[in-house]
Each structure stands twice: as C-alpha cells, then as structure tokens.
A and B are shown apart, each in its own frame.
Chain A
C-alpha cells in the first residue's frame, strides 16, 4: 500500500495526540511533580525512569480503564513499560 505524505502525517499527529493525552493523564492522576511534555515516549515509567511504583501501577491501570475503556491484566503489565508501549496497547485494543 502506498502511503501518501498526508496520510502519514495524519497518523503521526494522531499518535502524538494519544501519547500527549496519556502523559497528561499520568501526571494528573498520579499527582506527579513534572510537566507532561518533559516525559519522553520511550522513558521507563517505573524505577529509575519516571519513578513510579506498584501502587501507582494499580492507580494507572484503573485510569487507563476509565479513560480508554482498555483493560490491563496481571500477565501483560509490561505494557506499562513506557508511553510508547502503552500507546501501542491502547491503539490495538481500543476498537
């Protein structure tokens, strides 16, 4: 399939919109003391990355469900690894 410049641009914009929304949600719901735009898409969310812990993971799981209607399960918690992984999972499972 041939992708036109316009369709690629549209996809990229959609993706940017989604990752920005995820960042805003994480910062707001977890009351993080950081500007959402300072979180990078591949930065680890837990441990040394953004410094989240298992208690935050529980809260994050609930707010991803609330906001996107997408359920996370115990056996696919690696989805919470980074903004990109989370965005991939949400895009795959939203429809």
Chain B
C-alpha cells in the first residue's frame, strides 16, 4: 500500500482538526474522481467514552463523516488540478473552500466498527448536476464491507470553479 498523502498532508487540505479529523492516510487517489483513505480506530477516540461506556462501537454517522472527508480530499485535489490546468499557479486555499454534505442516501451498516479496526474508506464520484455531485461510498475493515451507501456533496456556491 502506497502512501500518497500523510496525515500532515491531509491537514493542509481539510479544515478539520482533532477530535474531528477522521482520516489518517490516503492510499489511492484520482483527483476529482475517486480515492481510498485509511482511518485507524483506537480505544482512545473521544466518542468511545459515551458510545458506549461498556461497549466501544464507532458511531455510524462518524463513519459517514470519515467518508465525507475522503470525498472532500478527492474534490479539492480535483479542484486544485483543474485550476493548475487552467494556468492558475497560485497556491489555492483548499481548506477554506471545502464543500458541504447535502444528502445521505441508502446507507447500510453491515458490521460494528470497534477499536483496533482499520477503516478503508472508498469513494467514487458519480453524476454531477450544477454544483452538486453524487458520490458512492463504502468502508471496509479487512475484506469485510462495513458501510455502503451514497452521499451528495455541494461545492461552495461562491467557489466558481466547476470540479
């Protein structure tokens, strides 16, 4: 597994910080189209304190959030690449232009995610209409698919560039 982006690289791209940065590493990336990231789940995650006190299960919504963050990485690297191709060599403020999550659809949770699991977060961009894009997402632990569904994301209405 090749490391394409470290956690430090990801921090430059996303505005999220502890305890809400849920992406440790990028191992596959086609800017603007698809990608795979890793999230290592440890027992020291703050949410395990309450979810649950006697049984640690990663909240499903946070897995969706991790997938959304992976989506943001694919989207913003795509936007940066598009800007470069358009001849814009200025450093883009990628983290300040991150889009929004606008829909979550048909999400299935097949298996609980627990401390020690390594989440493999896969996202693949589908149809786009205007500033909205539909993204197929799935999370794996080893060979097992643990989450699958579709999310829709929006670019910032003021960002102009079509990703």
Contact = CB atoms under 8 A, between A and B. Distances in A.
A65 interface: yes
Sort A-B residue pairs by CB-CB distance and give the 8 closest, nearest first.
A58-B132, A58-B129, A55-B103, A62-B127, A61-B129, A55-B102, A58-B134, A57-B129
A74 interface: yes
Could you tell me the dominant secondary structure of chain B's interface residues? Answer: strand
Contacts of B103: 55, 58-59
B132 A74 contact: no
Interface residues of B, number: 12
A55 B130 contact: no
B130 A61 contact: no
Contacts of B112: none
B127 A61 contact: yes
A7 interface: no
Interface in A49-92: 54-55, 57-59, 61-62, 65, 72, 74, 77
B156 interface: no
B127 A74 contact: no
A77 B129 contact: yes
Contacts of A62: 126-127, 134
Interface of A: 54-55, 57-59, 61-62, 65, 72, 74, 77
Interface in B74-121: 102-103, 105
Could you tell me the dominant secondary structure of chain A's interface residues? Answer: helix
A58 B128 CA distance: 7
B152 interface: yes
Between A58, A59, A61, A72, the greatest number of chain B beta carbons within 10 A of the residue's beta carbon is seen for A58
Contacts of A77: 129-130
A58 B132 CA distance: 7
B116 to A, nearest CB: 37
A54 B155 CA distance: 13
Interface string B120-140: 000000111110111000000
B159 to A, nearest CB: 16
Contacts of B132: 54-55, 57-58
A91 B149 CA distance: 31
Contacts of B128: 58
A55 B129 CA distance: 9
Nearest to A61: B129
A59 B152 CA distance: 9
B105 A59 contact: yes
A61 to B, nearest CB: 5
